[in-house]
Amino acid sequence: MKKAKRHPLLARLRARLELTLDLRTDAAILPEPALIRRACQAALQRQVKLAQVSIVIVDAAEGRQLNNDYRGKDYATNVLSFALNEGETVAGLPLFGDLVLCAPVVEKEAAEQNKDLMAHYAHLLVHGMLHLQGFDHEEDDEAEAMEALETVIVKRLGYPDPYHEEQH
């Protein structure tokens, strides 16, 4: 039996990202851990040497509570990003953060926008990971740059441009 070759670059990339996954929802269709890892890894920028990220997928009630507690908005949103060091690189320390995805909101948006559910999850994971690394979309120029980067990453993952409908 042949021994499988190990690809050193893939091993180094995998070692740069430590992920934990916490499912707090009874949603019937959730992304596989492999998709979560691929999307998060793809969004990790070169300058980040090590990242420790928790992915939490919640139900609508918890999503609403977290959005209200941390953003003062009384509704569940698709993804929330919590960065310990707000995208700033601290010498010798990894990037720490949490991404919270609200399964019912992600499902509803995918259906309303006629998008594949896993493609939408991948996009939101990429979006959240970029937030953890300091990207934002408060100003128009920031939004354009972030959306362009998200599009490149999501397409590299094999999914269509997540903003395609908005470009018509």
Q: Which residues are annotated as a binding site for Zn(2+)?
A: 127, 131, 137
- Binding-site residue numbers are 127, 131, 137
140-156 vs 117-132: helix axis angle to the nearest 10? 130
Helix (H) / strand (E) element for 117: namely: helix 117-132
Q: 156 is written with which tokens? A: 């590299």
> What single letter denotes the amino acid at residue 87?
G
Residue 158, sorted as left (phi over 0), alpha (psi -120 to 50) or beta, turns out to be left
